[in-house]
Amino acid sequence: MMMQERRHEDARGEILFDAEVSPQVGHDWFVPDYWRERGALRVQAGGRGGVAVIETPAGECVLRHYRRGGLVAALLGDRYLWHGAARTRPFREFRLLAQIARLALPGPGVVAARYVRRGMFYRADLITRRIAAAQTLAECLAAGRLDAGLAAAVGELIARFHRAGVCHADLNAHNVLVTAHGLYLIDLDRGRFRTPARRWQQANLRRLRRSLLKLGAAPAGAAAFEAQVWQPLLTGYGRTPNP
């Protein structure tokens, strides 16, 4: 099914949505309390992203509120500087995910994006389809399920995105989902298409490596991590053909 991008603009801000998923999406869709009142709020978690799982007319979805991290969060919180609608975080991620879907890459299906503008700043939200029965790679690691086979599959997954020129801005073990029928990359905020090049691709891989090590992927030492996890991951990455 091809995406039918639609836009709705009013005094509050603007919504970008896929009319093939839902013919109409209003501001209420981006408010967790709206779904709670209808008994359709499944899970709500805090943290930097502010994520909720909601049961929508389009099926089970993930609602994410954009929040800043790091030191700037103390100053701006969830506000972003306005540079035009096309450059807002949710609209850029919406269109990136739409293109990823057209390339048949395994990412979350996008439903709708919104910004609410006030003066020089805006706040933002994104709704994507929930990937069911999934665990993050970090959860697999914690459960002792990160073996050579899974590591190789992760390498193959990343290579597919890299060969297509997709650069994930925050490639870490929390943004790889593992399911019984395949792996997915999620949370592509600030991701973009780039000309495939070894420099940024290797930087992406190093970021994932740091994430795995920070989460305790080398309990038996560096040599065991290299042999049992990292080298299988690189082997999977290297054997993935160009699209």
Q: 3-state SS string over 145-162?
A: CCCHHHHHHHHHHHHHHH
Identify any residues that bridge with 49 across adjacent strands, giving them in sequence order. Answer: none
Write down the pLDDT at residue 210: 98
Catalytic site residues? 170
Write down the pLDDT at residue 198: 95
Write down the pLDDT at residue 105: 97
Write down the pLDDT at residue 46: 59
Write down the pLDDT at residue 156: 97
Write down the pLDDT at residue 68: 86
**112 in Cβ contact with 31 (< 8 Å):** no
Write down the pLDDT at residue 241: 65
Write down the pLDDT at residue 213: 97
**90 in Cβ contact with 80 (< 8 Å):** no
Burial class, 43, CB count within 10 angstroms (exposed 0-12 / middle 13-18 / buried 19+): exposed
CB neighbours (10 Å) of residue 70? 7
CA 210, CA 94: separation in Å to the nearest integer?
28
Write down the pLDDT at residue 176: 98
To the nearest 10 degrees (0 to 180), the angle between helices 231-238 and 148-163 is 40
Spans in the chain with pLDDT lower than 70: 1, 46-49, 240-243
Q: List pLDDT tens digits, range 48-76.
A: 557 999 999 989 999 999 998 777 777 88
Q: What is the pTM of this model?
A: 0.94
Give the phi and the psi of residue 155 in degrees, each rounded to 5. -60, -40
CA 97, CA 87: separation in Å to the nearest integer?
15
